[in-house]
Structure 1
């Protein structure tokens, strides 16, 4: 009998080994594709623009579909249960995935309900559906990959590669070795930059780039104790210290006070979690950080445009000097001999002096901006106040995606500039209401609490991204959410893997045999009890995911065609824009661009169809008013001019143009022998002018106001008062007939 059973056992073992190798290859390939997609997201402005969101999101969805299909065939989870048993760490990992995906699916459901109803922007709502679906797909794929030891190491290597690409490209742009459009922001406003230049890198926005660099810096900083507490070689210790200078220099060059403060608070939280790591970390990191401060001062004085060769030599010298000094301090701290008792206090004192000197250099360089900046703070206060008043109009459910972008021109109390509300949490409140904000708070709280519970060194890096989003629009960059989920997955997986390596599965089961047995039994019984529902749920999930991927692909194709149209001749532009609208009827930018090429008879129906998907869009209303004025329909033109101005109150160009166009229409009707319509047009023009004048007077009488948009009553509009009054009083002057299609001043969309 044993001889008969032996071939069957060998065949089973061979088949299982082959399946295991296939699964390992699949995880490796999926991990590489996942990292490649995140790299594309980082290179493409951090997934800020619509076209990048749709393309990368569709890629995540296809990758998840691939893994779901192979999981069905191989039965990964079932194989682990029928084999040696699911490890307790992996059980907890799957529980964490359910919480994360549950919150993300809740957000998707919120936006789906908005899309079914009447959101302020259907396109913005669909974009949020694609974004949150991207986060869920990334989390699910990364979670599955990190369950294997090789997958976890691959994700960790991908994290370092991502940091190197973001930081390296920014510093190469500073030295002129890489052409990076909009990577450096130049300004003469001391409230915005103390040195006249700020580093934005691939993200093109210094504040968010600073928060991202702070996250990568803190991840490397708190990884030092695990390297330094072991008997490691010199090369490995030097490699651990090597990333500190570039990350710190990039963070400093952003001049983001919010990112600096978030990094300081997260660092303090990390030290509170690991109190014993404070001294060794300070000793090891003080010299590289001091070198980074000197490099920052040199580059800031050169306004981020240093001479290439001397600048690179200065960089190499400071970089090498900081690493060598850090290694020497670490060696002296553990040195023996007669001075052994003084080695640790002495090196700690030297490290404190270096850190203090670095802080003094930084504060001296940015003291005006650090102590000043009242203008930017006042703008934030105004913005938050207006956003709260807008949120109260639909407090529980919000108004769908891009609520602030569609509404802020109509509700802003003063003419500041800010198409993005500078708070990720406030943006969520506007879009998805209190319910959506609670879901996001549960999600970030779970991630933060989970990292604290497993005592992960990644907690400070996650805290930076969570905290800085409160004071800036970091979450408008999809990359920030991906990095936050990346940290969470790596932290949970590393903790589970570490426990398994340290204790082993048998030791873990011996320690808590009854609890582990109950868990495994519950999983097994749950699977048996829900056996008929599992295929149905799996098919439903796959169908929904396929629909989501197709939606992302359709929106992406529409965006690509719209971008292509800008560089094509007129005939080709019209065809591309029409095709773009066929793929996405809610693409308002494509509709606005196409309207410029169409006659008024075709332009008006197009714009009215687009208004169904974005009823408060100021550009669509303005284009409609212009189209009606071109046709000489003064009543409709006046109604749409008023609607467009109500949706963009502090636009003096639009206010002036509306008055001039209605005055021209009144002249045209009078010349054409239609005094009734002439008076109606003149009355509408006078009403707009009086409202415009009253708004300008009220604004000038404000005690403390800001005028980023340079709003004021224009002389050209004020001169139309007598002209309109004469028309209303029935006085006639011999004016040349003015055709309404001739513009008095340039229009602004």
Structure 2
């Protein structure tokens, strides 16, 4: 008996230690990625190193499950009835993997996207394991508060000058961009996405407060309610300082969803706590906006402390007021009390809408910005261009970062837009309608699962905020965004969900009909396949990280001939690890002779056919050799980035160089033909600049003096060409 107890205790300790390790890894990863930019840049060491560690560890865990299955003769204990929640990221990763076989626009971006989604799948497995068992829901709640609260507190610390955080505050003199002259972006360095995260965090706190009775805000309860609501005004303040209209709208929609999902006294508490948070946040936001998010430290901190104290008092008052307004004794006091209660219940939503509108308009000049249609018109042009691309490949898409690499070829005007400002549209361009459908089914499953939980109003409003805002912005480009989405989804499974090896309900009945041996074989096959995929992704991420490290070593080396040769060798080693990286090929080509550089760049064009930098560099490398084939990539570069005056001018420079080399080699007819092609390229440049004169020109596209000088030189070398038009000879930049 004692031996059995010791063995049981040993198993418990081992399980406890593993739970602590898993929970620490999950929370540590989210916190680290939040501190390093939210995983926006996938091709960085700060992203690839933790991603590779996660994937390799997950592969080892799957192998351990398989080994345990073989030794004990059971199945591999994969996730049970909630498997669609876990399968979603792996399915999307597989779509990107299929794209690698179909000549994507960018091979490198598609590889990184596949690794990214594999990591999200592995993270969801870790999150599911961390949230299971005793203390799982409490861990998920505290972890969520630690991450979102950390984002809010660090952002406000940057406002008050307590934390040096470059990029945390967007400062601009353009009042259409920032009514106050500054907007809060936090560690994410982008106000709109930061605003969406703050809105989700705010609604999560408000729904938590809605479940707390008035007794939780008293001394006997150790002011538990006040502690739970301490971050609500902080989130509200951070949200208002972002000036994000999309985040405001998503927050309003999520708040309305919470109002509809909650019932009775919880609904009343929800409204009153919302009013309390906004009542404190709005005047603080106005004060900070007047100071352009650079207030005097001591007075500003004192005002913040006073505001938070007032918020705590108002929150306690709101909870107690809800108890009195919704007390059952009202029904015994006659129809007058019932009528008064009904009026109060009906008036609260109207008051909340008025308070939200007043808070949103708390900044000087924000009203004009809210009503300005310039941003929405610009987004409309962008969406129209994206739909033109989507119509070309409607079902399967063109692989990772399709918009980033192709939008310059279809731009209706010279706007700045490396991101399409719609996560769903961006994924549709990458994976087509089939990939978008898979994403919507996956997210829809999570929404339905939350809706059917015991507390549908608890987390669904925050979840909806994230999903809605990503429709009008590029939140989905942040890995942290998806980690927060997964966090809410797993948390929403409830204490009974999220365990391994359970197959409840219909799934259980279906599996029980299968032959036991076949079921075990199927589980082992799935576990083995998943382990192989995770291992492949982990090794690929490690190779990418090592390639980046070697390139960085090559770039920081000392000057000198010997050092230059060593740098070239380092770059060649880096290229062997990640042959599709375009910036690496450009760096290596810059250290090689023209012929060798051309070979390196040709190899890059096989992977990245729509990279204007590679095409331009290849054109110059061939032009230096006097190879007439240089015309092709030079023209291609100009087509890939039509509204870049630098690329258009450089293409003309390359054509002029080619004409000079051909003339020096005695190939006069070819030189004249090349000069003629250069003049035609200049005419296209000139026509495009004239057409742009009446358009909004965010990229500063114009005809350059260098291009005019090159055109004169090319005209002189083009024997037998007709005289130029008058406008070409006198063209000058505007």
On whether the aligned pair clears a TM of 0.5, the verdict is yes
1:34-433 correspondence to structure 2 within 5 Å: 34-49=26-41, 50-51=43-44, 52-72=46-66, 94-96=80-82, 98-228=83-213, 233-234=218-219, 235-276=223-264, 277-334=266-323, 356=354, 359-365=357-363, 366-433=365-432
SS in 2 for 1:607: helix
Question: Deviations for 1:174-206, whole angstroms, at most 9, x for unmatched residues?
Answer: 111111111111111122111111111111111
CA contact (8 A) 2:131 2:498 kept: no
Task: Find the aligned partners of 1:524 and 1:79 in 2 and give their Cα distance.
Answer: 19
Q: Deviations over 1:245-289 (max 9, x none)?
A: 111111111111111101110110111111423321222332232
Q: Aligned to 1:689, which of 664, 682, 686? A: 682
Q: Secondary structure at the match of 2:292?
A: coil
Q: How many residues align?
A: 696
Name the structure, 1 or 2, with higher relative contact order (CA <8 Å, separation 6+).
2
Tell me the equivalent position of 2:10: 18
SS at match of 1:95: coil
CA apart distance, 1:386: 1.2
Q: Is the 8 A contact 2:550 2:574 kept in 1?
A: yes
Mapped contact 1:257–1:370 kept (Cα < 8 A): no
Gaps of 5+ in 1: 1-6, 499-504, 506-514, 732-749
Matching residue of 2:696: 706
* Distance apart, 1:670 and its partner CA: 4.4
Partner-residue secondary structure (3-state), 2:183: strand
SS class of match (2:407): helix
Structure 2 counterparts to residues 473-622 of structure 1, below 5 A: 473-494=474-495, 496=497, 519=508, 522-523=511-512, 527-570=516-559, 571=563, 573-622=567-616
Cα drift, residue 549 of structure 1: 1.2
**C-alpha separation in 2, matches of 1:414 and 1:53:** 34
The offset of 1:550, in angstroms, is: 1.0
State the distance in 2 between where 1:68 and 1:62 align: 10
Shift of 1:663: 3.6
Going from structure 1 to structure 2, the CA distance change for 1:354 and 1:312 (only over 3 Å counts) comes to: farther
Moved more, 687-696 or 470-479: 687-696
The question of whether the paired residues in 2 share the 8 Å contact of 1:183 and 1:202 is answered with yes
C-alpha displacement of 1:629: 2.8
Query: Would the alpha carbon gap of residues 73 and 629 (structure 1) be closer, same or farther in structure 2, given more than 3 Å must change?
Result: closer
Question: Residue in 2 aligned with 1:746?
Answer: none
Cα separation, partners in 2 of 1:527 and 1:54, compared to 1, 3 Å: farther
1:287–1:326 contact (8 Å) kept in structure 2: yes
Query: Is the contact between residue 192 and residue 369 of structure 1 (CA under 8 Å) also seen in structure 2?
Result: no
The alpha-carbon deviation at position 371 of structure 1 amounts to 3.7
Contact 2:278 2:355 in 1 (8 A): no
C-alpha contact 2:198 2:239 (8 A) present in aligned 1: yes
Aligned-partner Cα distance in 2 for 1:473–1:191: 20
Residue 730 of structure 2: aligned partner: none
Q: Distance in 2 between the 1:289 and 1:353 partners?
A: 12
TM-fit CA distance, 1:557: 1.8
Q: CA 1:311 to 1:350, structure 2 compared with 1: closer, same or farther past 3 Å?
A: farther
Q: Alignment partner of 2:361: what SS?
A: helix
* Partner Cα distance (2:173, 2:539) in 1: 46
CA deviation profile, 1:18-48 (whole Å, cap 9, x unmatched): 3233123211211111111111121121111
After alignment, is 402-411 or 477-486 more displaced? 402-411
Distance 1:251 1:229 in 2: 27
Q: Please tell me whether the aligned partners of residues 175 and 308 of structure 1 are also in contact (alpha carbons under 8 angstroms).
A: yes
What secondary structure is seen at the aligned counterpart in 2 of 1:185? strand
Report if the CA contact (8 A) 2:396-2:434 is conserved. Answer: yes
Structure 2 unaligned residues grouped into runs of 5+? 722-734
**Following superposition of structure 1 onto structure 2, how do residues 720-735 of structure 1 map, counting pairs within 5 Å?**
720-729=710-719
Cα 1:721/1:560, change in 2 over 3 Å:
closer
